[in-house]
């Protein structure tokens, strides 16, 4: 057992294996790991920790590769901690950062809202979805954001609107004039969805999920699409054209089912996965002249 220390209400652990917290089921350890009990506990934790301590916010780890050398920071897990959902008014949901995206899809559908169905198959938290501008099937989360609530390392809270951010394909960046050198994290979001029909939305969720089961290798640990699609093309098409499906390094394999997925065949290390990413990039650059950029975030130290 790792030594555990009580801080505020949650549990602060040392040397936490991050492979238990990322969907690739691979990778190194976090120097410290904290899962708050709830929002107030998280804010208290921010105040209590030394100002120089680096924090890294984690959702469900569904877009993360943690290198084998681990994360030299305190990882704070929002999933299971900031989990409140409230209706502010009809069509407007306030969602805390740790709420899983599929839950938002189901709640919105049940309430007769339209447009949230795409969230059903994204296995991340609202915080991760906001940070990535996650989306699929023609929709992305920031299309529906009315406001977001943020907090910085000093614990200062702010409400922001989409106009404060540069928002693009799988990217969201606080504008420099708003940021002033300070990092902010998402605490909650106010989302607005147009009125729709509950049965239509539920049917669409079922059909989108069935499509994912048919197209994606969900039977193996993975992190969704590894690369962003280049302008006017698809990363999966380029990878398949280069004959890379089934290409393997250690326990990491380019999926036979979806070429833009790398699956963990059981014993993959983060080093295997990163080496496979680099191999795919260099083959596609050499053979197609296209530089692919990872959509997954690669963090931590090399071993
Ligand atoms: C099977 C599968 C299918 C997927 N399909 C899609 C898809 O269709 N479309 C799509 O866009 N993505 C998809 N993904 C990728 C992933 O689910 C999304 O990127 C998701 O938004 C990540 O959320 P997370 O909570 O897991 O974030 P994490 O992986 O935990 O973190 C991702 C980044 O967000 C940051 N972050 C997390 N929480 C916060 C916060 N509260 N405030 C600020 N930053 C934060 C982290 O620091 C990190 O940099 C898929 C992944 C899998 C495994």
Residue 289 lies in a domain: yes
CA distance 102 to 265: 26
Q: 225 an active-site residue?
A: yes
| Same domain assignment for residues 91 and 211 | yes
Residue 160 lies in a domain: yes
Q: Report residue 213: phi and psi, to 5°.
A: -60, -40
| Same domain assignment for residues 30 and 70 | yes
| Cβ proximity of 80 and 40 under 8 Å | no
Active-site residue identified among 170, 237, 248, 283: 170
CATH of the domain at 169: 3.30.465.10
Structure tokens at 162: 């989409």
Structure tokens at 147: 């406001």
| Same domain assignment for residues 105 and 208 | yes
Q: E strands, 199-302, where?
A: 248-249, 252-254, 262-264, 297-299
| Same domain assignment for residues 118 and 162 | yes
Asked which of 24, 48, 77 is the last residue of a domain, the reply is: 77
CATH of the domain at 61: 3.30.43.10
Residue 221 lies in a domain: no
Residue 222 lies in a domain: no
Q: What is the whole-number distance in angstroms between the Cα of residue 39 and the centre of ligand 1?
A: 20
- Tokens 């250690």 label which residue? 250
| Same domain assignment for residues 246 and 148 | no
| Same domain assignment for residues 109 and 205 | yes
Please enumerate, as own/partner, the contacts of 117-122 that have beta carbons within 8 Å and a separation of 24 or more: 117/201, 117/204, 117/205, 117/208, 118/208, 120/205, 120/208, 120/209, 121/208, 121/209, 121/212, 122/62
- Tokens 């939305």 label which residue? 201
Minimal-distance CA residue to ligand 1 atom 52: 224
Atom of ligand 1 nearest to the CA of 186: 42
CA distance 176 to 38: 30
The half-sphere exposure of 8 on its side-chain side, counting CA atoms within 13 A, is: 19
CA distance 49 to 70: 20
The whole-number pLDDT of residue 3 equals: 42
Residue 225 lies in a domain: no
Asked which of 185, 215, 245 is the last residue of a domain, the reply is: 215
Mutate to test the pocket of ligand 1, among 55, 122, 228, 260 (most ligand atoms within 8 A of CB): 122
At 280, which helix (H) or strand (E)?
Answer: helix 270-288
Residue 275 lies in a domain: yes
pLDDT tens-place values along the chain, 303 residues long: 334 444 457 889 999 999 999 999 999 999 999 999 999 999 999 999 999 999 999 999 999 999 999 999 999 999 999 999 999 987 899 999 999 999 999 999 999 999 999 999 999 999 999 999 999 999 999 999 999 999 999 999 999 999 999 999 999 999 988 887 789 999 999 999 999 999 999 999 999 999 999 999 999 999 999 999 999 999 999 999 999 999 999 999 999 999 999 999 999 999 999 999 999 999 999 999 999 999 999 999 998
Atom of ligand 1 nearest to the CA of 133: 11
**Closest CA relative to residue 175, chosen from 188, 162, 187:** 162
Residue 227 lies in a domain: no
| Same domain assignment for residues 177 and 64 | no
> Does the reported pTM lie above 0.85?
yes
Count of domains for the chain: 3
With a Cβ cut-off of 6 Å, ligand 1 is lined by 23, 56-64, 78, 97, 121-125, 127-129, 131-132, 134-136, 185-186, 216, 218, 222-224, 297
Residue 220 lies in a domain: no
Q: How many residues does the chain have?
A: 303
Q: What is the whole-number distance in angstroms between the Cα of residue 166 and the centre of ligand 1?
A: 18
Give the domain extent around 14.
Answer: 4-77
Residues 6+ apart with CB under 8 A from 36: 8, 9, 10, 42, 45, 76, 81, 82
Relative to beta strand 11-17, strand 29-35 is antiparallel
Structure tokens at 104: 């938002």
Active-site residue identified among 62, 188, 225, 255: 225
| Same domain assignment for residues 211 and 89 | yes
| Same domain assignment for residues 167 and 247 | no
Q: 279 an active-site residue?
A: no
| Same domain assignment for residues 198 and 101 | yes
Q: 295 an active-site residue?
A: yes
Asked which of 59, 77, 95 is the last residue of a domain, the reply is: 77
Mutate to test the pocket of ligand 1, among 56, 128, 135, 143 (most ligand atoms within 8 A of CB): 128
CA distance 138 to 286: 30
DSSP 54-102: -EEEESS-TTEEE-TT-EEEEEEE-TTTS--EEEEETTEEEEETTSBHH
CATH of the domain at 283: 3.90.78.10
| Cβ proximity of 49 and 55 under 8 Å | yes
| Same domain assignment for residues 125 and 55 | no
| Same domain assignment for residues 73 and 195 | no
Q: What is the whole-number distance in angstroms between the Cα of residue 262 and the centre of ligand 1?
A: 16
Minimal-distance CA residue to ligand 1 atom 31: 128
């Amino acid at each position: 057992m790792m030594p555990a220390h009580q801080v505020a209400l949650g549990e602060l652990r040392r040397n936490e294996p991050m492979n238990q917290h990322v969907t690739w089921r691979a990778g190194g350890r976090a120097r410290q790991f904290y899962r708050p009990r709830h929002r107030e506990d998280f804010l208290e934790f921010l105040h209590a920790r030394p100002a120089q301590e680096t924090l890294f916010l984690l959702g469900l780890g569904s877009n993360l590769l943690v290198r084998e050398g681990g994360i030299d920071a305190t990882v704070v897990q929002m999933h299971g901690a900031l989990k409140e959902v409230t209706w502010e008014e009809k069509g407007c949901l306030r969602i805390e950062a740790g709420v899983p995206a599929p839950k938002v899809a189901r709640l919105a559908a049940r309430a007769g809202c339209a447009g949230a169905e795409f969230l059903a198959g994204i296995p991340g938290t609202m915080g991760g979805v906001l940070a990535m501008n996650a989306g699929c099937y023609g929709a992305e989360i920031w299309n529906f954001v009315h406001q977001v609530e943020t907090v910085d390392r000093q614990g200062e809270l702010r409400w922001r609107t989409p106009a404060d951010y540069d928002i693009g394909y799988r990217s969201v960046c606080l504008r420099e004039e708003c940021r002033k050198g300070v990092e902010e994290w998402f605490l909650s979001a106010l989302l607005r969805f147009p009125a729709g029909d509950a049965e239509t939305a539920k049917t669409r969720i079922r059909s989108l999920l069935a499509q994912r089961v048919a197209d994606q290798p969900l039977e193996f640990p993975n992190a969704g699409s590894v690369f962003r699609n280049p302008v006017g093309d698809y990363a999966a098409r380029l990878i398949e054209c280069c004959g890379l499906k089934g290409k393997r390094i250690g326990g990491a394999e380019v999926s036979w089912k979806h070429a833009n997925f790398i699956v963990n065949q059981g014993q993959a290390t983060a080093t295997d996965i990163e080496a496979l990413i680099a191999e795919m990039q260099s083959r596609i650059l050499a053979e197609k002249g296209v530089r692919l950029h990872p959509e997954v975030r690669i963090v931590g130290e090399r071993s």
